[in-house]
Structure 1
Amino acid sequence: MIDLTEIRAREPHRIAEAWAARKRRPLLGDDGQMMIVAADHPARGALSVRGDGNAMSNRRDLLERLATSLERPGVDGVLGTADILDDLLLMGALEGKLVFGSMNRGGLMGAGFEFDDRMTGHTVSEIVQRGFDGGKMLNRICYEDAGTVAMLERSAVAIDELAAAGKMAMLEPFISTRDAETGKVKNLLDPDNVIKSIAIAEGLGATSAYTWLKLPVVDEIERVMESTTMPSLLLGGEPKGDPEEAYASWQKALEIDTVRGLIIGRTLLYPPDGDVAGAVDIAAKMVHG
């Protein structure tokens, strides 16, 4: 790996120059599907994988896993925060790839203000200036927490600004709650609550022309997807065991018309057998095969 720290210390201008010179591609290929790798978890303090609380703490290891995945056929791009995307850019891993900036990372995992999810990541102006393909927002809706409405308002403004620039606004909605005993935030993943979250999210902003959804794979996924006409990317989800279980749940959902691909993250970046390329190849074949 190149010496990223040396470049950042002595030649930080190279980052802007590399973004300007980067080779880009159309949003969708001939099959209308895409597979994106997500790496914006660390910015919210979420470093855990399968019970290992510090699994994602080694940055160079994470970057190598991301670079490996982006090299695989059928992987169309990446979603991340500026720190990770700038490193991948300097490594040459983003040539000809789709790039999506993660915008609201202020709702830190476990914080008392977790639902007041501030825009602490990419701005719309930076997304446009760097030639990204869009911006992603996490929309956790808690009826008991006043921070939710501030997040929704900020998201609506960003949706309109992204649309004005012709950039995708990728929304990741959940109906969420905070456990009274532990204080932990929990996303409600039953079909009816997912449908409700979709209805709220897709109504944000003055235009929906550039709105896409990032949605979890849940029970009754066919009924869930009947609740929207928005193009949607399925969320790979939290790693809970053998990736084969995740593959099985994704396969059926990918056949639905409004589903336009997958966004995978920790499940495949940190597979139990350590074979990142093998795990990513299986998912990519499901999306583009």
Structure 2
Amino acid sequence: MTLSVSEIATVRARHPEAVAEAAARRRRRPFLGERGRLMIVAADHPARGVLGAGDRSLAMANRADLLERLRLALSRPGVDGVLATADILDDLLLLGALDHRLAIGSMNRGGLAGAAFELDDRFTGHRAETLRRLGFDAGKLLLRIDYTDPGSLATLHATARAIDEMAERHLPVFVEPFLCHRVGGKVSVDLSAEAVATSIAIASGLGGTSAYTWLKVPVTADAEEMGRVMETSTLPAVLLGGDTGPDQDTTYERWRAALRLPTVHGLIAGRSLLYPADDDVARAVDTAVGLL
């Protein structure tokens, strides 16, 4: 029986085993379908203390609303799955929303936004063994590198070991790399072509094998630059669909152009689809699917 959002807390309190039971019942699908493309909705922001979307500072703090938006997004044709932390994936399991959809676990959320230790991004989420046990399909990790912050070395080391652990279990892992630096105490990412290419080169070389490593990369402003950036590695990649900003059409065209590149196999987008400016989740998701 599929639960309503209002019933989740009661089930969690009285029958915590229900999560594992729902995971065991989940009907799975191939990781990469016949079309060879992935359209993934991301919702792992809250666990890093990021609750805002657009001009709504606490948009993602309403869990019932977030889950309804995710259920709607996952119901749209062409959507392959969701990337989220354990609490959200557990909720979606209880709601019966993950059948025939990919479940991708977010692995490191320890680099809380604005914290002094933000770049020492500990693996506080899913572990490789947990993903295997629950029958989930892949993992994702964030790798931000600041050459002046020792915390980045700890994250690099932990990332390499996580890649090894995922490969041992034949589980794909999406690595999201950035070069960054602090401006006024706040971490700022460098999205220049040179910086993105450098971050890709670093991420591609981590671990004892890259056989199961995917890249999750931002789209540069210039289409020609993006082509050169993606020549840095032969690893399969998906695009990071960040905030579309006020000019959605221009952003979509940049995504469309990047999706034509030979190593790019899809798109992972979060708040831009779940909290679009016009609040029409279905239309935002359908537009993104159409770009594929």
Normalising by the smaller structure, the TM-score range is over 0.9
Contact 1:243 1:268 in 2 (8 A): no
Judge conservation of contact 1:168–1:212 (CA < 8 Å) in 2: yes
Match of 2:161 in 1: 157
Task: Give the residue type in structure 2 aligned to 1:189.
Answer: L
Whole-Å Cα distance in 2 between the matches of residues 121 and 254 of structure 1?
29
Tell me which residue corresponds to 2:277: 272
Q: What CA RMSD, in Å, does the superposition of the two structures yield over aligned residues? A: 0.9
**Alignment partner of 1:7 is 2:11:** yes
* Secondary structure at 1:187 match in 2: strand
> Partners in 1 of 2:188 and 2:140 — Cα distance?
20
Cα deviation for residue 268 of structure 1 reads 1.1
Cα distance in structure 1, aligned partners of 2:272 and 2:99: 24
After TM superposition, the structure 1 = structure 2 runs for residues 125-204 of structure 1, keeping only pairs within 5 Å, are 125-179=129-183, 182-204=184-206
Q: Which residue in 1 is equivalent to 2:117?
A: 113
Runs of 4+ aligned residues of structure 1 deviating over 4 Å after TM superposition are none
Counterpart mapping for 1:62-101 below 5 A: 62-101=66-105
Do the aligned residues in 2 keep the contact of 1:25 with 1:98 (CA within 8 Å)? yes
Provide the rounded CA distance (Å) in 1 between the counterparts of 2:46 and 2:247.
Answer: 23
**Conserved 8 A contact 1:160-1:205:** yes
Q: Does 1:60 align with 2:64?
A: yes
Q: Which amino acid aligns with 2:89?
A: L
Aligned residue in 2 for 1:286: 291
Alpha-carbon separation, structure 1, partners of 2:54 and 2:245: 6
Q: Deviations over 1:91-117 (max 9, x none)?
A: 111001111110010000000000000
Report deviation, 1:151.
0.5
The answer to whether residue 38 in structure 2 is matched with residue 34 in structure 1 is yes
**Which amino acid letter does the alignment assign opposite residue 116 of structure 1?**
D
C-alpha distance in structure 2 between counterparts of 1:212 and 1:72, whole Å: 24
DSSP 3-state at the match of 2:11: helix
The one-letter amino acid paired with 2:260 is E
How far apart are 1:173 and its partner, in Å?
0.1
1:242 deviation in Å? 4.3
217-226 vs 32-41, greater mean Cα deviation: 217-226
| Secondary structure class of the residue paired with 1:204 | coil
Paired residues in the alignment total 285
DSSP 3-state at the match of 2:217: strand
Letter in 2 for 1:31: R
Q: CA deviation at 1:238?
A: 2.3
Please name the residue that 1:232 is paired with.
Answer: 237
Contact 1:101 1:122 in 2 (8 A): yes
Instruction: Describe the superposition over 1:2-31 as per-residue Cα deviations: whole angstroms up to 9, x where unpaired.
Output: 411111011111100110111000011111
* Aligned-residue offset at 1:50: 1.6
> Which residue identity lines up with residue 274 of structure 1 in the other structure?
D
Deviations 1:248-289 (A, max 9, x none): 1101011111000000100111011111001101111211xx
Secondary structure of 2:55's counterpart equals coil
**Separation in structure 1 between the aligned mates of residue 12 and residue 250 of structure 2, nearest angstrom:** 41
Secondary structure at 1:29 match in 2? coil
Of residues 212, 215, 219, the one that matches 1:213 is 215
Q: In the alignment, which residue of structure 2 is the partner of 1:253? A: 258
TM, length-normalised to structure 1: 0.97
Instruction: Give 3-state SS (helix, strand or coil) of 2:105's partner.
Output: strand
- Contact 1:50–1:239 under 8 Å retained in 2: no
Asked if the contact 1:76/1:98 (under 8 Å) is kept, the reply is: yes
Percent identity, aligned pairs only, is 56
Output the amino acid matched with 1:245: T
Conserved 8 A contact 1:243-1:271: no
Q: Output the CA distance in 1 between the equivalents of 2:41 and 2:246.
A: 19
> Distance between the aligned counterparts of 2:145 and 2:195, measured in 1?
10
Partners of 1:242 and 1:38 lie apart in 2 by 21
Question: How far apart are 1:49 and its partner, in Å?
Answer: 1.3
